[in-house]
Structure 1
Amino acid sequence: MISIVSSWSGWKDIVSSNGVVVSVAVTVVAISWSIISKRRNGGKLLPGPRGFPLIGNLLSLEPDLHFYFTKLAKVYGPIYKLQWGMKCCVVLNSPALAKEGLRDQDAKFADRDGPVVGMVLSYGGIDMVWGASDAEWRKLRKICAHELMSNTNLDSCYSLRRNEVRKMVKDLYSKIETPVDVYGAVFTTNLNVIMSILWGGTLLVGAEKTSVNAEFRQLFHEIVELSAQPNVSDFFPFLEWLDIQGIEKKSKALLAWMDRIFASIIDQHMKLERTQEVHKESKDFLQFLLELMEKQDPKTQITMTQMKALFMDIAVGGTDTTSTTVEWVITEMIQNPDMMKKAQQELEEVVGKNNIVEESHISMLPYLDAVVRETLRLHSPAAMLVRRCPDSPCTIGGYTIPKGAKVIFNVWGMHMDAEAWSNPSEFLPERFLTSTPDNMKKYDYRGTNFNYLPFGSGRRVCVGISLAERMVTYLSATLLHSFEWQLPEGTKLDLTGKFGIVSRKAIPLVAVPTPRFSNPEFYERLHRRGNGETRFPPGPRGLPLVGNLLSLEPDLHVYFAKLSKIYGPVIKLQLGRMCVIVFNSSSVAKEVLRDQDANFSGRHIPTSALIMTYGGKDIIWGQSDQEWRKLRKILTHELLSNTSLDSSYSLRRSEIRRMVKDVYGMIGTPINVGEQVFVATLNVVLNMLWGGTIQGDERIRVGIQFRQLFNEMIELGLKPNISDFFPFFTRFDIQGIEKKSWKIFNEMDRMFDSVIDQHLKLEKENNGLKLGSSKDFLQYLLELTKKHESKTQVTMAQLKALLQDVVVAGTDTSATTLEWAMSEVVKNPEVMRKAQEELDEVVGKNSIVEESHMNQLPYLEAVVKETLRLHPAGPLLIPHRSITSAVVAGYTIPEGSRVFVNLWAIHRDSEAWNNPLMFQPERFLSSDVNLKKYGYTGNNFDYIPFGSGRRICAGTPLAERMLIYVLASLLHSFDWKLPEGEKLDLTEKFGIVLKKATPLVAIPTPRLSNLDFY
């Protein structure tokens, strides 16, 4: 939460804003004389660059402040002054001056001048980072240092660190030979370690712990982003009450979010304590702090607010800095292959190639220790310590430092001082390994050597040094011992730093890991069982027991298409105990989805889907029996019939117009297009389901909850489950997926119960709910649960499963297709121009798009069809299952096989499509092509974006309307372009839905002549 901003160029934009300049000018002029008179003193005046009236040196600041301060030191000396608005800033750039400020006068320089963001998020500055160095601050620091960060406690929780680090190795092993984000992998591990230490003993259920950690990760990134924004109130304090930039408001919103997370965790502990389920032997930091709250000893008692502030400090301070340092370590190792070789040789001698790194090895790795120390010297994550603020005037280097000045210690400049370090710009771990016996101790992390201050010094030295020292070395050792690292082919290593709250790499390190262990069992301990062979189609030879599992590539649709070029359109893979058949051509797809539709209409239900669909009682995963046909008929004849869709048009219209209004509110700024269309699509679906039952704020709340739950379901659904490939292990739930699925299921079930209870309550209050034309789908289904007619009656479990299907299937696929469509039109300006010209002709610039216009927009329809061809939302369809043994294309398909239809490959078949890799809407508008020929009914097997046969997507009518209507509204209302300097990335990310690997961020500009339409 350090307030020194990451991009000072942003300050100029703020100052150029008329509102801010006027506010500053009018007020500052009135009080300027009093300020000048107060700043006069009899001491020696500090040197420094001359600033502008009123705003001082703010406009001359450069983005990389540590570089800028070091340059100024060469002109004005090691100590100088800058004027930042009404704030006096003093920068110290030499070890000698740092020693004066951090040791000789430590007490005077122990206070803080907290920024608005820091003060709000630290509950008013009652934490360790921003709190004043008083008795309460010392008490908190003592609790943290003596309990959480003590060697005894860190030793006792080593198993937590060990588990998370090994989990990281296993995850990286699953991505060998593919580029990985090193920082992302390390950050996740660090955060999980910190969360486990804080409340791992309270959140005993793995899924719940994962959910909380994921939410905190999102909150963390938003805090960092907000803290990096320059705030005019920090430089002109009298403007704070106006909150001109809204930063205080945003900070309070983040605080409320954070407070809710903490409150939820604390409530969970209280509940466990009441039921005597708290595990005393695994007491976490939360349990310890709660016990302190109940004590009456003023020396140790803390308040609930102090406890939450302490949590905030540890979570934020213990993750980003460590992760960034490890990323720099691996970066320097790749940059210096000989050093990587030395470190790995040392690891092999101490650990061995057939063993895994333990924390106990760390003390025996002097070269790696030197690598870490050199990394912290050259790439200190805190390039400038959290600024100090003297509580009274004092003298340093012969200059008077005024009371209340912002004092910055430029650690980066000290670490690059040529008088203290030979060749300071070079990465030389050997500098810490000279013949001097105590050389390592000379450069420790305690801040006693003022040439080397990566964690600060004095009473404000980082309280988390002990954990950081262990984690940085342990993680670096594990990554270097377990894998070789190299850059992706054709890329170059960028060592540019990016100044900010934490000084990161400007370009994140993406590297390719290769296993180093001679025994692969250390990466992945797979339980194997034999399986019988049957006559199958051709395919790659697999390993014993595991089959082809280890050779699968991340993008399955591309991998399957590559295999088909070797083995033909029908291929067989053995994934553990599961036989998988992949069909890659339109002719064999026709055999499977039409000619033998009934036999291939079964499903293999994954564990997570079986749980979350109430035991497979839905349409997507349910078996194609009589109950399944009844549910599908209810859905297609009621909710998704043309009559029903026509009657609910006003719902779609209002949500799409709200989306346009929201986009208009962000004109000229980059927006996440996929997020906007996802929210609009989700709101449309939820309104159709239960819009007549719940209204207003309650409907918004339910929508937000469902959106969060939806994301958790998608994330869990993407995880491969060993139990699905080796059913014998289902009972053991090795990965905890079943447990996580039950947690999500219970949350979802509670949501449905809440909505249903709301309906029943309204019905009771009105002696029978009679909303006439506003009857929603929930009301209709509830009426069916009361019927005794077997042909239409549904159970409550079927009702809930059906609701879930509609939401899950009706949102992400449409939103993803729309994002792809917008990406293609942004990439192809001529396509955008043609579509907008058609819209202008049909709709006009003085009107708004309506659904009634859709059948008059053939070019736009062709754009949608081409998007669905090139980027089908479901590239492999949901896998089918052969109910009995069958023959397709001359091959025997065994009973119970999992069957994939690779429609992504079918849509790119050069025998069916000219220039199949090019985006050409015109291919659907040529004189010899009828748009109806390429409809969505699944009858043309060259084009089956929604599948075919009895398992064809039931939501096709709604999807067709939504895709064209939303795309038309976005293109008619706005022009779209990429942010300056950005390039469009069309890389795909395989999953349940084929998404863009990089979300589309584009800038809208209004097109309509009448702004009232927005």
Structure 2
Amino acid sequence: MEAVVLILLSLVVPAALYLLLSPSKRSKKLPPGPPAVPFLGNLLWLRNSVSHLNHSLLKDLHAKYGPIITLRVGSRLSIFIADRFLAHKALIELGASFSDRPTLPAANHLLTSDQHNISSGRYGPLWRLFRRNLATEILHPAKIRVFSPAREWVLAVLLRDLESRSAESGDGTVVAMESFQFAMFSLLVFMCFGEKLDEKEIRDIEDAHRSYLQHFHELKVFSFVPSISKYVFRRRWTTILQLKRRQRDLFVPLIRARRAQKENRQQNDKRERFVHSYVDSLIDIKLAEEGGRGLTEDEIVTLCSEFFTAGTDTTATALQWTMAELVKHQEVQQKLLQEIEEAVGIRNGEGIKEEDLQKMQYLKAVIMESLRRHPPAQVVIPHTVTGDIEFEGYTIPKEATVNFVVTEMNWDEKVWEAPKEFRPERFMSGGEGEGVDVTGTREIKMMPFGAGRRICPGYGLAMLHLEYFVANLLREFNWETAEGEEVDFSEKHEFTLVMKNPLRARLSPRRPIKTT
């Protein structure tokens, strides 16, 4: 019923006017694609969105129409690029032209504070300011090292939680994903606010954040004639506003506390130990393009929320996929365990340190293969071009979304032998993945973090977290399949590309877990 109302109210007439008044748009040579129904676009869009188009459907469309195709929804164009050479040309060689983001529907501006963030911000000075601040103040290697004690604390919490769940189950079986998510979220909370909050505070923040994001997809109905849809779906709109308010009520006191601490530190004891957090860096930002003003509290809340979204589910999901592959492939688990033992030896209860990771090349190969086989998303966040551009003989219109199909590149049979198989050795000496540049700067063979100017700024931190937690989880526990079960590698779309059925594994401690 919602689809009917929205189509009748907002698609037919605007689309007809668009076609009648803009003949020049129709005359441009767009990349090929399946036939589209007038005004409504491709019928497949009535059942799928860009983020939920499955790999097999996209693969079939690309096989039929070529490596670059066009799909339509109403008057909106979506371009899909599935070839690694074309992706490199667009994202690296023509990076400035392909680095913009689509204009968001009016209702989505609530979530992004008018696109005052990094992931959806329009390409320009404001976006560069936010990204540079994150890269230099939090994600620079020297700044990342500052949070080493926080990673040790979170690791201890995670290990105790898994051991407790294992003991309570009776047979050692645990569903680890919830533990992974809470651990990653706890770490991001510390990095964001600079404080080690208690478990209840963290879970309150996590619940508010997750509840708000779970309603994000409901904003779609407000994209068409907002003044009417907000009235028709007023209960839904009220719920979203309440969830946004709850998130703000939890974040703002922490933001104000950091502001007060910064001021007191500057005025009083400059020798006081002070962990520079993400919020601290946001408090210092001045927007030159907007009169030199500072960020509002709502804008800081938006950037903090984005920080949690980008660093929690992506890492937790990748961690689960990696441990699932190690459960499935016991020979890989044993080979990795041997490398760990040779690298660190026996340390009277001490875990693996971050500096130890440099000695573990097979660990890096396992992580790379997991990211290749199970990228966080099927397509990267949609790009747009800064202006109409000629590309490979076609016109890419300015307001078309441009989507890069990560799975097609990660699983390209021309690059990877048996691409659907899990083979970490391919990233060792002599393998087809030896020396692969995960940033895609030299060439693109896989792009789990995107590539070019819009590459995920936290890819270095993500790699560190995956290596650190996988190594320690494997050193502390033996991971096996639950009795009578097999690992199910079916996928589904949530915020990321997740396991349809979360990993159930039987854990047995290799040594006593520290209780403090």
Q: TM-score range by the shorter chain?
A: 0.7 to 0.9
Q: Is the 8 A contact 1:571 1:583 kept in 2?
A: yes
Task: Tell me the amino acid that sits aligned with residue 749 of structure 1.
Answer: R
Q: Residue 33 of structure 2 corresponds to which residue in structure 1?
A: 539
Q: Residue 706 of structure 1 corresponds to which residue in structure 2?
A: 205
Q: Is the 8 A contact 1:885 1:895 kept in 2?
A: yes
User: Percent of aligned pairs with the same residue?
Assistant: 26
Q: Is the 8 A contact 1:609 1:621 kept in 2?
A: no
Residue number among 589, 592, 595 corresponding to 2:87 in the alignment: 589
Residue number among 295, 302, 323 corresponding to 1:801 in the alignment: 302
CA distance in 2, matches of 1:614, 1:522: 28
Q: Is the 8 A contact 1:630 1:791 kept in 2?
A: no
Q: Over residues 831-859 of structure 1, what are the superposed CA-to-partner deviations in whole Å (9 max), with x where a residue is unaligned?
A: 11111111111123544211111111111
Q: Is the 8 A contact 1:588 1:888 kept in 2?
A: no
CA distance in 1, matches of 2:291, 2:479: 51
* 522 and 701 in structure 1: CA distance in 2 versus 1, 3 angstrom threshold: closer
Q: Over residues 384-436 of structure 1, what are the superposed CA-to-partner deviations in whole Å (9 max), with x where a residue is unaligned?
A: xxxxxxxxxxxxxxxxxxxxxxxxxxxxxxxxxxxxxxxxxxxxxxxxxxxxx
* 844 and 958 in structure 1: CA distance in 2 versus 1, 3 angstrom threshold: same
1:935 and 2:422 correspond: no
1:550 and 2:51 correspond: no
CA distance in 1, matches of 2:6, 2:100: 35
1:677 and 2:180 correspond: yes
Q: Over residues 276-311 of structure 1, what are the superposed CA-to-partner deviations in whole Å (9 max), with x where a residue is unaligned?
A: xxxxxxxxxxxxxxxxxxxxxxxxxxxxxxxxxxxx
Residue number among 387, 410, 413 corresponding to 1:907 in the alignment: 410
Three-state SS of the structure 1 residue aligned to 2:312 is helix
Q: Over residues 85-114 of structure 1, what are the superposed CA-to-partner deviations in whole Å (9 max), with x where a residue is unaligned?
A: xxxxxxxxxxxxxxxxxxxxxxxxxxxxxx
Figure out how many residues of one structure are paired with residues of the other and give that number.
489
| 1:522 Cα deviation after fit | 11
CA distance in 2, matches of 1:892, 1:833: 52
| 1:663 Cα deviation after fit | 1.4
Most deviating of 524-533 and 660-669? 524-533
Three-state SS of the structure 1 residue aligned to 2:113 is coil
CA distance in 2, matches of 1:606, 1:878: 16
CA distance in 2, matches of 1:743, 1:1013: 39
Q: Is the 8 A contact 1:580 1:897 kept in 2?
A: yes
Residue number among 231, 242, 249 corresponding to 1:750 in the alignment: 249
Q: How does 1:435-474 map to 2 (within 5 A)?
A: none
Q: Is the 8 A contact 2:106 2:226 kept in 1?
A: no
Q: Is the 8 A contact 2:33 2:65 kept in 1?
A: yes
Residue number among 351, 358, 362 corresponding to 1:855 in the alignment: 358
CA distance in 2, matches of 1:525, 1:572: 24
* 606 and 976 in structure 1: CA distance in 2 versus 1, 3 angstrom threshold: farther
Q: How does 1:562-711 map to 2 (within 5 A)?
A: 562-604=60-102, 605-607=104-106, 609-667=108-166, 668-692=171-195, 695-697=196-198, 700-711=199-210
1:980 and 2:474 correspond: no
CA distance in 1, matches of 2:95, 2:246: 36
Q: Residue 220 of structure 2 corresponds to which residue in structure 1?
A: 721
1:992 and 2:495 correspond: yes
CA distance in 2, matches of 1:599, 1:728: 31
Q: Is the 8 A contact 1:607 1:738 kept in 2?
A: no
CA distance in 2, matches of 1:556, 1:720: 22
Who wins on radius of gyration, i.e. which is larger? 1
Query: Mind listing any 5+ residue stretches in structure 2 that lack a counterpart?
Result: 20-25
Three-state SS of the structure 1 residue aligned to 2:215 is helix
Q: CA RMSD in A?
A: 3.0
* 582 and 653 in structure 1: CA distance in 2 versus 1, 3 angstrom threshold: same
Q: Is the 8 A contact 1:555 1:990 kept in 2?
A: no
Q: Over residues 693-731 of structure 1, what are the superposed CA-to-partner deviations in whole Å (9 max), with x where a residue is unaligned?
A: xx553xx3432122112322332234582454xx44575
1:969 and 2:472 correspond: yes
Q: Is the 8 A contact 1:671 1:1003 kept in 2?
A: yes
| 1:883 Cα deviation after fit | 2.3
Q: Residue 23 of structure 2 corresponds to which residue in structure 1?
A: none
CA distance in 2, matches of 1:601, 1:523: 31
| 1:540 Cα deviation after fit | 0.9
| 1:822 Cα deviation after fit | 0.8
* 989 and 864 in structure 1: CA distance in 2 versus 1, 3 angstrom threshold: same
Q: Is the 8 A contact 1:848 1:1013 kept in 2?
A: no
Task: Tell me the amino acid that sits aligned with residue 134 of structure 2.
Answer: L
1:951 and 2:445 correspond: no
Q: Is the 8 A contact 1:718 1:991 kept in 2?
A: no
Task: Tell me the amino acid that sits aligned with residue 799 of structure 1.
Answer: I
Q: How does 1:24-35 map to 2 (within 5 A)?
A: none
| 1:863 Cα deviation after fit | 0.9
CA distance in 1, matches of 2:239, 2:84: 38
Q: Residue 22 of structure 2 corresponds to which residue in structure 1?
A: none
| 1:630 Cα deviation after fit | 1.1
* 942 and 750 in structure 1: CA distance in 2 versus 1, 3 angstrom threshold: same
TM-score with structure 2 setting the length: 0.86
Q: Is the 8 A contact 1:611 1:741 kept in 2?
A: no
TM-score with structure 1 setting the length: 0.45
| 1:685 Cα deviation after fit | 1.0
Q: Over residues 425-480 of structure 1, what are the superposed CA-to-partner deviations in whole Å (9 max), with x where a residue is unaligned?
A: xxxxxxxxxxxxxxxxxxxxxxxxxxxxxxxxxxxxxxxxxxxxxxxxxxxxxxxx
Q: How does 1:353-432 map to 2 (within 5 A)?
A: none
Q: Is the 8 A contact 1:938 1:944 kept in 2?
A: no
* 905 and 1002 in structure 1: CA distance in 2 versus 1, 3 angstrom threshold: same
| 1:760 Cα deviation after fit | 4.5
| 1:761 Cα deviation after fit | 5.1
Task: Tell me the amino acid that sits aligned with residue 836 of structure 1.
Answer: L
Three-state SS of the structure 2 residue aligned to 1:830 is helix
CA distance in 2, matches of 1:792, 1:855: 43
Three-state SS of the structure 2 residue aligned to 1:945 is coil
Query: Mind listing any 5+ residue stretches in structure 1 that lack a counterpart?
Result: 1-165, 171-520
* 848 and 593 in structure 1: CA distance in 2 versus 1, 3 angstrom threshold: same
Q: Over residues 344-389 of structure 1, what are the superposed CA-to-partner deviations in whole Å (9 max), with x where a residue is unaligned?
A: xxxxxxxxxxxxxxxxxxxxxxxxxxxxxxxxxxxxxxxxxxxxxx
Task: Tell me the amino acid that sits aligned with residue 333 of structure 2.
Answer: M
| 1:1003 Cα deviation after fit | 1.8
CA distance in 1, matches of 2:56, 2:88: 21
Q: Residue 258 of structure 2 corresponds to which residue in structure 1?
A: 759
Q: Is the 8 A contact 1:685 1:811 kept in 2?
A: yes
Q: Is the 8 A contact 2:32 2:68 kept in 1?
A: yes
Three-state SS of the structure 2 residue aligned to 1:880 is coil
Task: Tell me the amino acid that sits aligned with residue 825 of structure 1.
Answer: L
Q: Over residues 619-650 of structure 1, what are the superposed CA-to-partner deviations in whole Å (9 max), with x where a residue is unaligned?
A: 11111111111111111001111111111111
Task: Tell me the amino acid that sits aligned with residue 211 of structure 2.
Answer: E
| 1:776 Cα deviation after fit | 2.6
Q: Is the 8 A contact 1:613 1:801 kept in 2?
A: yes
Q: Residue 732 of structure 1 corresponds to which residue in structure 2?
A: 229
CA distance in 2, matches of 1:894, 1:562: 24
Q: Over residues 146-199 of structure 1, what are the superposed CA-to-partner deviations in whole Å (9 max), with x where a residue is unaligned?
A: xxxxxxxxxxxxxxxxxxxx88xx8xxxxxxxxxxxxxxxxxxxxxxxxxxxxx
CA distance in 1, matches of 2:247, 2:325: 35
Q: Is the 8 A contact 2:159 2:513 kept in 1?
A: no
| 1:938 Cα deviation after fit | 4.8
Most deviating of 850-859 and 923-932? 923-932
* 740 and 952 in structure 1: CA distance in 2 versus 1, 3 angstrom threshold: farther
Q: Is the 8 A contact 1:640 1:958 kept in 2?
A: yes
